[in-house]
Each structure stands twice: as structure tokens, then as C-alpha cells.
Chain A
Amino acid sequence: MAAVQVSEAEKVYILHGIRDDLRVDGRGCEDYRHMEIETDVVSNTDGSAKVTLGHTAVLVGIKAEIGKPRPMVPDEGYLEFFVDCSANATPEFEGRGGEELGTELSNTLYKVFNNKHSVDLKSLCISTGEHCWVLYVDVLLLQCDGNLYDAISVAIKAALFNTKIPRVHISADDEGGKEIELSDDPYDCMRLNVENVPCIVTLCKVGHRHVVDATLQEKACSVASLIISVTHKGMVTCTRKVGGGSLDPESIFEMTEAGKRVGKALHAPLMKLLQQEESLGKKHQKVGFLG
């Protein structure tokens, strides 16, 4: 992640501010910055979403392809994640500079979604052992201003909500094999149930307190962060500690509780906004990228 330099005095100022629950931009320790979400921005994907959180901008595109299911679970489809850090975000990502961060982000996403409840994988099965839907989730980082995990998880949830998978009919072939036909009607598609898709909350430990949605300056003052993914019911699917500093067990417990609280509160307004956008229908003019 692009790092900014802060002087000692600035660090002390930020630390004391967080201790008094008044951050540099006036937010409380558990407030998010202004978030803008839009779905269906990329026309040649099956589902897409763009999320802007402060100055962090993330674009997610989902493509559904037919593939062979994994040998251990022949009656389920699966998701593949790929995170690309664009050089637009910061010159450090030029060439192969963003690869390390991209791999770390996609590995975390695999861990977050690696359970039976997040996405109903059985609905992605076409014929057991032979064909299933594989959802390729591609994440593109357009701008980097701190708090990448949260923005990415919100964008993935919005994109999955927006994904339209075409319905298939399986018919017997002449030679006895199976033939797959995609439905001709472009509107005849299957939608995914994203109720249980988790959202990631990053909590940075600054001084003795933790902050949600840290800016790059606050990140420079923190030594360790906790990444926790929470579903709308408050169930935790993955926790991860990043950063070189240490966290003592009480603060990990405190941060986990705060993360669960904040994460649970994210889902309701997000679903409401997605349904509101859906109800606006085709008449609603998309803002896209140059708005």
C-alpha cells in the first residue's frame, strides 16, 4: 500500500486525537468515510460494481464461465479471485510492483469466502461431476487511499448482487453425451443470494485504541491491524492480523467485538442501497467513471 511520511509531532497529534475520539477529519473512531456504490458499470461482464470510499476507488467485475467442478466437491461450483493493483493508483504499482499486494489481497479473499455459507455454491452446479459455473471475480484498484479490504469486500458483495448468470438446459446429445444450451432470452437468468456474503472490516491499532477505516496518515501511526470478515448475522468467517507490531489478547478481543459490531451495521444500508438502485431500473442514468 502506498505509504505516506508523517513527522513525529504529527503522529503525536493523531494519537492524542484518536484517544479523545476525534480524528483529523472530525470522524469518530468507528465512522466510515463517505462511500459511493454503483453496480453494472462494465457492460461485458456478468456483474460489476464500483465503490469509492473517500479517495479509494475499487472496480470489481464478475464473469461466469462453465468449467469442471473440483474433484473433492463434485456438486458445487467455485469462485476464483484475482486482484490487480493498477499503476493508476500509485507509481509504486508500476510493472510488477503491485503484484505482492495483489497476491496478499486475493489470498485473504480466498480465506474469507472459504466456507459453505457465504455463497451458495450448490446453486452453481450444472451437472454433478461434469459441469459447473465458475465465477471469476476480478478486482481492480483504481485509487489507493487506505482501507482497501473494506472497499473491496463491499464492491464484491455489490457485484455478486448484480451478477446475472444465464440459465442452462442440459439435453442428451446424439452420441449419448450431455449438451449444454444457454437460454436465448438475455433476461432469463439466475441471481445469486448475497445475504450471507461477508464484509471485511479493518481495525488499525493506534496507541491504545483502534480505528475503523483508517486513512494513510493514520495507518502510518499504527503498528498492527486486524482484518475481520463479518456476515450480516454477526458471524465471523475470517480473521487476520497484519502489520509488524504486536497485539495483546485483550485488545484482540476488544477489536474483534468492535469489528463484529461495525461489520454487522454495514450490511443493512448496503442491501437497501442495492435494492434501491435495482428498482430505479434502466431509466436511471449511470454515472460511470467520468462523473
Chain B
Amino acid sequence: MAADMRLPTIRKPVSLSVSAFDRRDLVVPGDIITSDTGFMRGHGTYVDEEKLTASVAGEVQRVDKLICVRPLKTRFNGEVGDVVVGRITEVQQKRWKVETNSRLDSVLLLSSVNLPGGELRRRSAEDELTMREYLQEGDLISAEVQSVFSDGALSLHTRSLKYGKLGQGVLVQLSPSLIKRQKTHFHNLPCGASIILGNNGFVWLYPTPEQQEEEAGGFYTSLEPVSLSDREVISRLRNCLLALAAHKVLLYDTSVLYCYESSVQHQVKDILKPEVMEEIVMLTQQKLLEQEG
């Protein structure tokens, strides 16, 4: 019940591990990348008095004669095959607009979702009228990027049993650059919860379903109360994710799991205190280094 009040402390700069970072070339806006005029300028650069200068803060990427700067903190730039977690913002004719933390709202076409029962047929006018019964404004979905429109908007699809409307759980919104690209983004963690690490920075935590349901893409969402032990695991995972994100640690199933294990001796609500966060993240980084080397 007591409120935890304290004076603010100056945050220590995040210590970079020397091995991984000394090869990288980090720039800030205004830094001169090169004075050589033989290079083509890519995204994130501009020419200022014949010198190639960075316009965003990030790392310099050089491909033959093309130099571009990839920003460290940016909106989600989707590629074909990325798994995303998004929220429906609009229901339009024959499509839904999905918010995925990108520059434009992504599009989920009616023809890209599975019909209930898994039947394969042409979508009729009746399907169009009952769109809202399936996905409403505010609903969360997991989907895959099918293609990218010419203006940069993503076209999503849920044409697999593992994608679809999401049920009970917790959404954590983080930066897309912190999510590591892996083979699979759906994990059933051994600590008792499941996680979907969307490439767009949206991470979905939910209680592991008892049996693998057969119905097509999450048409039925269970509204049964989740047990207290599952809830604790999910809350702890959520706080661990926020702690890792605050210290800019790359997120994938192993790092999240190590962080969970390091946090077990603290109470769930204490994890967000600055000193506890630091301790947990340091232990996690140590474990990750041990595992690598």
C-alpha cells in the first residue's frame, strides 16, 4: 500500500559490450560520414557542401558504392514474411485497417483471413456485412506480412491456424529494433506462459492453451478467468520485458527466459524499480555472454 517515493537519480549510460560494438559505426544527425564524392547516398543521409552527412541517429551501412544510415529507433518497416501483432483501427469495405506501429496503417484484406470452419470459397456480400462480427475496432490479431504496397503500407494475412484474433493476455509495446529476427516468433516458455514476439515491437503474452485448438485461426476467444499462478507469470514476464527494453537488450526467447529466471527472487511489482531492473538485466547479460562464449 505504501507509495514508493524517491529522488531521481542520474541514469548511468548503458554499457556496451566491447566485442559486439567496436566494429559498428554509429553516427548522430549532422555527423560527416565521408568526404569522398564517389558514393551514392541512400536513406538517412544527405549531401552538405559535398560531404555526405547523416540525417538520423543509427549505424552506417555500406554496400559497394551505396551508403545508408539505418536508424536505431524508428517505426516498423515491414518485410514480406514478418510476423506482426496489430490492433484493428477501422473496419472498411472488404478490409480492415490494422495499427502496427509503422508509418501507415497496415491492411488486412477480407480475402486474406480464414473463414470459420476453414471453408475455401469466394467471399460473398454476406461475408462483407458480417466482417464486424469477426474483427472489431480494438481487437488484437497476429498476422504475417504478405506483401508491401507501393506506398509502403503492409498487406497482412492470417491464412494459417496459428494466426488470427488474440484472446486474453497482455500486450507490451516496445521498439521494433529490439526484436531479434528468428525462425519462429511463437514460443511456449517453460515458465508457464506463451509469448508472441511481433517484429513490429508489439509483444503478446498469454496463458498457454491446454490443448492445441483445431478451430480456424482463433474465431473463438475463451473468456474464462485465467488462474492466479498464470497471471503472476505473465505479469513477471511483462515487467521483465520492460526492464530489458529500458536497457536496450535484444529480445528473443532465450533472453526473456534468462531475465525471468534472474528475477525470481524479487517480487513482481519490485521489478520496475530502477536498481532492481539494473541488477536483473546485468545478470541476464552475464548469462547470455556465458552461453555464447
Contacts and interface: CB of A to CB of B under 8 A. Distances in A.
B72 interface: no
A262 to B, nearest CB: 7
A36 interface: yes
Contacts of B269: 25-28, 31
B6 A273 contact: yes
A273 B226 CA distance: 39
A262 B1 contact: yes
Interface in A28-46: 28, 30-38
A24 B4 contact: no
A35 B3 contact: yes
B87 A26 contact: no
B171 A10 contact: yes
A30 B3 CA distance: 9
B239 A30 contact: no
A266 B231 CA distance: 28
B11 interface: yes
Nearest to B232: A22
A13 B223 CA distance: 8
B268 interface: yes
Contacts of B4: 32, 34-35
B271 A273 contact: no
A291 B11 contact: yes
A177 interface: no
B10 A24 contact: no
A172 interface: no
A163 interface: no
Contacts of A266: 3
A7 B140 contact: yes
B44 interface: no
B253 to A, nearest CB: 21
Contact count band on B: 35 or more
A60 to B, nearest CB: 15
A27 to B, nearest CB: 5
Of listed A7, A30, A31, A34, residue having the most chain B CB within 10 A:
A7
Interface of B is mostly: loop
A211 to B, nearest CB: 12
Interface in B207-260: 221, 223, 225-226, 228, 231-232, 235-236, 238-239
A8 B169 CA distance: 11
Interface in A149-171: none
Contacts of A24: 170, 235, 238
Contacts of A142: none
A26 B6 contact: no
Contacts of B81: none
B267 interface: yes
B139 A17 contact: no
A219 to B, nearest CB: 14
A269 B5 CA distance: 7
Interface string B118-135: 000000000000000000
B24 interface: no
A140 B87 CA distance: 31
Interface in B158-172: 166-171
B214 to A, nearest CB: 20
A36 B235 CA distance: 23
A52 B5 contact: no
Interface in B252-282: 267-269, 271-274
B9 interface: yes
A240 interface: no
Of listed B89, B236, B269, B272, residue having the most chain A CB within 10 A:
B269
A72 interface: no
A7 B228 contact: no
A9 B167 contact: yes
A30 B268 contact: no
A36 B168 contact: no
A5 B5 contact: no
Nearest to A266: B3
Of listed B8, B235, B274, residue having the most chain A CB within 10 A:
B8
A27 B166 CA distance: 24
B2 interface: yes
B30 interface: no
Contact of A36 (B1, B6, B166, B231): B6
A9 B7 contact: no
Given A7-B87, A25-B238, A287 B8 contact: yes
Given A9-B221, A273-B7, 8 more contacts: A8-B136, A10-B140, A20-B228, A22-B228, A31-B1, A32-B4, A34-B273, A276-B7
Interface of A: 5-10, 12-13, 16-17, 19-20, 22-28, 30-38, 52, 261-262, 265-266, 269-270, 273, 276-277, 285, 287, 291
5 contacts: A26-B268, A28-B269, A37-B8, A261-B1, A270-B5
